[in-house]
Structure 1
């Protein structure tokens, strides 16, 4: 085998006695030659031992080898991405109903799916219930926001009075991730039952009331936590955006099961059935596990685990976003979400309701000591109830907006790090954080619209008394004057020193993550902006990042997002190096996990490019 590290033949020598491509049995562990595999670095042949420590070896593999998770599904011609599922190995085969063969054949069965054996419908008639998106009546804004232009086939499944039930062939439940599926129900009648069956596990049937429209919060109840929780609970299995706007996502939340029940079916064969009750019509698409909001990765490899009394990295999946929650700091480690035109309506007024405690933390399966954080505890603090995913990114329907007012999406945020200061001024002055949110919104609306994958969180814990605000526009209101009162903030909830946000922008929705994607990453201080007599002021990121960014000269510069832009690599390194305040030599026990923002990106060049975007270059 001339390719191994002890051979004297140069790589590619046509006269060498090559056998195959040098990656077969000889180089396998069982073949005994795994230590003789060769790796070519800058034209030089090296062994595994020459490549340094394991982390360096992993980086080499990311940059130079195709991962086993690389998706080589055909995407040529007019097929585009339609044959791909959610991952290279889909969490559910043909969950998007787009694997229909080279040509649509109404006499064939749908790959991966079958009619119930007791159904009167001929199994071979199933494809007649696959409907191309162009024939569903989806609004133009939804089709544009989802990246659908009609040139690539995109099918959804239609259940109606003639075909009321379909079952997915047996599959294996993945290690993590709720079952999710998209529903479009223009007709206001009937019920949709979703049954997941695993031998030995008792999983309740989920029923969506197709006749029930999701509600909103009455004006008089906007600060009433109890009434908001009731509205949220009623909305979970009713139709919101999916009535007239387009497909909306529902979940079968495994959080409602006990951990013992959950463990019974992980990795076990399962059967999934959708059944329509009544004389109605409903469309179903994108039936998968794991949230679409973590397309780029589950940043801290978070998991739901109700056996832990005080978990630091608790996965909470919702239809509108995904969270890693820290029950020790009582704040989210991160919130991740997708945003495009399917999620937003420009110029819509904020709902402005009180935050409620996350119902997942009050389930029978959840430990009783898990934090029940809502917005009422902020009374008298002198800081804002800060969203990580803003309600403006989920304002298409009140059902989606209400979901952003959860304690699992809530941090204590300085007024000067959160607000639009004067909406009547032109241009309207605002904090850098608000301007970052606005920038993303503008990108979504510009032309055909971009698609963003956003992750946001906070850093540090600062319980010191500080000014509520130094923004002249806010100080006109006496309520915004004076100092914060952190002692009012019960239960030792962390008050962040910094807030951060990573937004990966795709030029158009639905496209693959390629070198055309761009990373916009920011770290902003979570305290009042400087007073006029403090300017110019040394850049606060100088100490945090050990850089020399000079001085900030004006309020306008302080409020400019570009002032706070960093690279994704810098943010990730910062989050992965948090030390215990009581023992600086040790890792902070509140954060016993590591970040990898791009863990689902297998192309080494794309990873490298996104990690470096926005890197600060001194003048």
Structure 2
């Protein structure tokens, strides 16, 4: 039985702290679910160990979609994995616990036949007998809109897909997200949901309750206060405080977690898990409408909109009008604080230095549902990357991890990536600009627009460009955790120059100096600029450059070994 950490953030949040829950001896003495059974307010609990189901033993007739999905992603069926089966009208409450000082509430849901209703989640402080239950955002037990659904049945081009990451609603003057708390992957597997906890309950004792209302039946699992994407650590101790952590602001999503820097308008780092369950068949081409005349797609929010009455409506985050065919579906991240300046897709174009909107969490690594792949097109998940970096060694490393490690060898990867060095100093061969500049002009209507013949002008949002990008990959077996990481665990660490490629070898090339590495790294130089393996370094070197504490959840004695390795054999 394992939780989300060495000391679980919620005892028995994965319902595995019980042996043979339907066994005769257990039901004779107690059918209580450890950690969950004693505060339901019932004389005789309606949810007991009889509601625990080993999902790995469900047959194809019991749960056909889940059975097929577990086979597809290569789950080891010999190991038990219990989930709680909750039917309509049933509820379960966790015994009193202390709410962690940080960390989103996350849980996994499988809903085999969504038929409406809600999963109600509530929390209640227990320091005083007068405290009331506080309802969190409910999970709607209905499907998120199919991206191919027609908003207008009479218009074959009015697809619903533009709204999969939410949109700017000009009627209510704010961002709307009608999809995050609806079901997508939950019909075939276990989908992760995140809910925000009231700040006034942090570090205080509380109760937590789940209740199903309506006609749906759900399987609940992995209830914890820690994102799975931060299993190996939070390298900058990021926190979701706009007052104290403006340059280290924690954002936790079901698809990835990140530390956002409002000064550079981009992530310090993005961290995510990758295994077969995240991979599907949706590609970036599926997000595009083939006919340029159909843009903007119905529902996709333009930064500037001309209303029917002739008024110009402007979202608070617009700099330039979009070119929909090239900017869609990049969108503002609505989870950033309302008062912060946010970036839009057009902010990165016409920069005249060949910088692209470079995904940190790749779209191809979140390809199982439209909701997942669209989440990678939020601008908090990008750094400006030179096209030779983004499409060269960076893309090669993505392919190696996704195809060879995950698809071919069924590994579960824990990945973290980011940028380094926004200083005014310009290493040889790098761009002379450390912030995004755009070529702009003023059109006949007096509006500032992006224009290839315009004047190169600093973007007003001061979007930083890193001189280098880096990535760390820790491959594990599916289901493994911190206790399974040993001194022999393979670690891949790279740092790549964010500049154009050199056509000739660079035998004297050096990466930046650091206190621990005064002569830089790559003592043998570079003979093939586009080969990601030639940019391998060790984690210790990346820590010296960035000041971050990577893999901080691992024991120190393990860190000391694997963080100094830069040449472990590759799978």
Are the structure 2 counterparts of residues 89 and 540 from structure 1 closer, same or farther at C-alpha, using a change threshold of 3 Å?
A: same
Q: Distance in 1 between matches of 2:177 and 2:359?
A: 20
Q: Distance in 2 between matches of 1:609 and 1:338?
A: 22
Alignment-derived partner of residue 454 in structure 1:
415
Alignment-derived partner of residue 523 in structure 1:
495
Give CA deviations for 1:405-432 in whole Å, capped at 9, x if unaligned.
Answer: 112112111111112xxxxxxxxxxx00
SS in structure 1 opposite 2:32? coil
108, 133, 142: which one pairs with 1:211? 142
Q: Distance in 2 between matches of 1:342 and 1:110?
A: 28
Alignment-derived partner of residue 433 in structure 1:
394
Q: Distance in 2 between matches of 1:103 and 1:127?
A: 5
- Does 2:194 correspond to 1:247? no
Q: Distance in 1 between matches of 2:415 and 2:453?
A: 32
Kept in 2, the 8 Å contact 1:241–1:248? The answer is: yes
- Does 2:34 correspond to 1:111? yes
Shift of 1:140: 5.5
Alignment-derived partner of residue 125 in structure 2:
198
Are the structure 2 counterparts of residues 140 and 280 from structure 1 closer, same or farther at C-alpha, using a change threshold of 3 Å?
A: closer
- Does 2:533 correspond to 1:562? yes
Q: Distance in 2 between matches of 1:483 and 1:442?
A: 41
Alignment-derived partner of residue 180 in structure 1:
106
| TM-score, reference length from structure 1 | 0.69
Shift of 1:488: 4.7
332, 336, 339: which one pairs with 1:357? 332
Q: Distance in 1 between matches of 2:536 and 2:361?
A: 19
Alignment-derived partner of residue 324 in structure 2:
none
Deviates more, 1:606-615 or 1:541-550: 541-550
Alignment-derived partner of residue 45 in structure 2:
123
Alignment-derived partner of residue 269 in structure 2:
334
Are the structure 2 counterparts of residues 147 and 299 from structure 1 closer, same or farther at C-alpha, using a change threshold of 3 Å?
A: farther
219, 224, 232: which one pairs with 1:288? 224
Instruction: Report the aligned-residue RMSD.
Output: 3.3
- Does 2:448 correspond to 1:505? no
Kept in 2, the 8 Å contact 1:497–1:526? The answer is: yes
Give CA deviations for 1:528-560 in whole Å, capped at 9, x if unaligned.
Answer: 112x4xx2334543455624634444xxx2111
Q: Distance in 2 between matches of 1:202 and 1:575?
A: 43
Alignment-derived partner of residue 401 in structure 1:
373
| TM-score, reference length from structure 2 | 0.75
Alignment-derived partner of residue 202 in structure 2:
266
Alignment-derived partner of residue 16 in structure 1:
none
Deviates more, 1:141-150 or 1:283-292: 141-150
> What is the number of residues matched between the two proteins?
470
Alignment-derived partner of residue 559 in structure 2:
607
Shift of 1:575: 0.9
User: Which consecutive segments of 4 or more residues in structure 1 shift more than 6 A?
Assistant: 217-227, 462-465, 482-486
Shift of 1:611: 0.3
For structure 2, the residue ranges without an aligned partner over 5 or more in a row are 150-156, 170-174, 289-327, 434-451, 514-518
Give CA deviations for 1:268-301 in whole Å, capped at 9, x if unaligned.
Answer: 1111111101122111000000101111111111
SS in structure 2 opposite 1:402? helix
- Does 2:463 correspond to 1:493? yes
Q: Distance in 2 between matches of 1:169 and 1:226?
A: 35
SS in structure 1 opposite 2:551? coil
Alignment-derived partner of residue 143 in structure 1:
70
SS in structure 2 opposite 1:401? helix
Give CA deviations for 1:366-401 in whole Å, capped at 9, x if unaligned.
Answer: xx1x23122121131242111111111111101111
Matches within 5 A, 1:159-170: 159-161=86-88, 164-170=90-96
Alignment-derived partner of residue 305 in structure 2:
none
Structure of greater Rg? 1
500, 506, 523: which one pairs with 1:537? 506
Kept in 1, the 8 Å contact 2:120–2:135? The answer is: no
Give CA deviations for 1:61-94 in whole Å, capped at 9, x if unaligned.
Answer: xxxxxxxxxxxxxxxxxxxxxx111112210000
Kept in 1, the 8 Å contact 2:267–2:418? The answer is: yes
383, 386, 401: which one pairs with 1:411? 383
Are the structure 2 counterparts of residues 400 and 347 from structure 1 closer, same or farther at C-alpha, using a change threshold of 3 Å?
A: closer
Q: Distance in 2 between matches of 1:508 and 1:304?
A: 29
Q: Distance in 1 between matches of 2:132 and 2:384?
A: 41
Matches within 5 A, 1:573-612: 573-576=544-547, 595-602=548-555, 604=557, 606-612=558-564
Q: Distance in 1 between matches of 2:333 and 2:276?
A: 27
SS in structure 2 opposite 1:293? helix
Kept in 1, the 8 Å contact 2:419–2:466? The answer is: yes
For structure 1, the residue ranges without an aligned partner over 5 or more in a row are 1-82, 420-430, 469-481, 577-594
SS in structure 1 opposite 2:178? helix
SS in structure 1 opposite 2:396? helix
Kept in 1, the 8 Å contact 2:100–2:202? The answer is: yes
Are the structure 2 counterparts of residues 491 and 508 from structure 1 closer, same or farther at C-alpha, using a change threshold of 3 Å?
A: same
SS in structure 1 opposite 2:561? helix
Kept in 2, the 8 Å contact 1:466–1:484? The answer is: no
Q: Distance in 2 between matches of 1:126 and 1:228?
A: 42
Q: Distance in 1 between matches of 2:276 and 2:554?
A: 24
Matches within 5 A, 1:82-101: 83-101=1-19
Alignment-derived partner of residue 152 in structure 1:
79
